[in-house]
Amino acid sequence: MKRVIAITLLCCAPLSSALADNHGNQARVDRSKAVVQEFFGKLKGELEAAMKEGGPIKAIEVCNRVAPGIAHELSSKHDMNVARTSLKTRNPDNAPDAWETAVLKKFEERKAAGESPDTLAFAEVVDSGGKKEFRFMKAIIMPPADKMPCLKCHGTDIDPAVAAKLDALYPKDMARGYKAGDVRGAFTLRQPM
Ligand code: HEC
């Protein structure tokens, strides 16, 4: 895939503001960040409600059905393709393409080089079958167990009943063994230009 314009590593404020006149792409970056916030906010709300109601077994349903539903809803609402991906997916449908794999690897390198995980994002205009496409990724970092319940289903110490349900639904699950602070994956957005 041919890269047309490398926009930014979005690592720091001066870089971002320097993009203000970059062919209008700063507006796309800002909009993408807002969509990611919306996705994460909705998912977090649904997840917390389900955990309260029926614990992690019930919440698996949220991740299994509700998360793809939210992605679908936001894709139509914002006229872009919104999804989640990871180098170690639970659902093979979320597997990264070549561009996403490269960006996820870069996120790991940037984090290892000392960059704050919270700012790991990347945007680029790519050539997709002769058409320009704006692509954006924002890393998803594993929060500590006292902040959010993510580790109950993606950590090292998963309750056997939860593990059994995950095994049944996702025979190819790779998304376990994470620690707080790890890059779990990323939100990934594509927009025709
Ligand atoms: C109750 C269990 C459970 C909890 C809690 C949970 N997840 Fe998941 N997670 C899943 C399941 C099930 C999937 C597969 C969803 C699908 O089929 O698309 C998944 C998928 C994902 C994916 C998509 C990539 C992949 O592996 O397929 C990401 C990213 C992710 N989870 C991050 C998180 C984060 C961050 C949290 C905390 C806010 C979290 N998860 C909490 C069960 C859980």
Q: How far apart are CA 106 and CA 122, in angstroms?
A: 9
Cα of 33 from ligand 1 centre, angstroms: 20
What pLDDT score was predicted for residue 58? 84
Domain that holds residue 40: 3-192
The pLDDT tens digits of the residues spanning 11-41 come to 333 344 334 445 668 999 999 999 999 999 9
Quick check: 7 pLDDT over 90?
A: no
Question: Measured from the CA of 68, which atom of ligand 1 is nearest?
Answer: 18
State which H helix or E strand residue 7 sits in: strand 3-8
pTM of the model: 0.88
Q: How far is the CA of 16 from the centre of ligand 1 (A)?
A: 30
- Angle at 39 (CA atoms; ends 33, 44), nearest 5 degrees: 125
Query: What is the tally of structural domains in the chain?
Result: 1
Instruction: Say yes or no to pLDDT of 117 above 50.
Output: yes
Average pLDDT value for residue range 92-114: 97
List residues near ligand 1 (CB under 6 A): 44, 47, 56, 59-60, 63-64, 67-68, 84, 86, 89-91, 94, 140, 148-150, 152-154, 175, 184-185
